[in-house]
Structure 1
Amino acid sequence: MQRDGAHTGFSIDLMNSVTEELGWQVTYQTADSFGSMLEAVETGAVDAAIANISVTAEHERRMDFSQPMFDSGIQVLTPSGTEGGPSLIAALFTRDIGIAVASALALLFGGGMLMSLFERKSQPYFDRPLKDASFPAFW
């Protein structure tokens, strides 16, 4: 932002501190929007941009960023107490998670049994009756 014709604010203070430490000269240009600011950096019209620019996947594909200077700490809020929402246990043990875990176990067991079936003639470890091979095949 500008105050009394001079650029001011947290971003300006930070950039001044960095350029002073590095011994660089800095000249500020005001941009009308984030899009125009990013375009100016991309085309080489300016060397860098500083503002509260969101580091998104799309922006990262277009240019490099420094470490973020601000962490917004966005969090999900729920009412305190048990009556306001689901508990952590209820959130972790949902139907979808149960189906995913059961599917993974079935794939592991099925794959192990197939390996036991195909390897039983060449690997002595699997040369046992099917009922005795089920746990070692799964493991």
Structure 2
Amino acid sequence: MKIQIINGPNLNLLGKREPDVYGSLPFESHLENLKNKYPYIIFDYYQSNIEGEIINKIHEAGPSCNGIILNAGGYTHTSIAIYDAIKAINTPVIEVHISNVYAREAFRHQSLIANACKGVISGFGIESYRLAIEAIMGM
């Protein structure tokens, strides 16, 4: 099984940015934990602050993996282009968020990509990624 994890803008700052919201460890540390917990899964990890690069990665990963875990960051609330990229592939995409977006600013309450995704996991901290892995394994 192969899972692509894609993190969007500002998620390269995990561990530094608002640790009370996002935690104090960089994502790469969490990724190592996931690799140890699921040694039979091949994880590809990609992070970009650029919308077009995220779209290109969705197109590239779609045919070659069993599922995509996408934390589109701020693009979740603004990107019709990422929505279209998800709709263009057959691979299931799980939208994840570390924080509970519904307990935050009102503009974060709307996801433009959720309708294209198989499911949405929000508010469980970094465990949101593990929950997405479990969901993909169950498909």
Q: TM-score, normalised by structure 1?
A: 0.32
Greater RCO between the two (CA within 8 Å, min separation 6)?
A: 2
Answer with 1 or 2: which has the greater Rg: 1
Answer 1 or 2: which has greater strand percent. 2
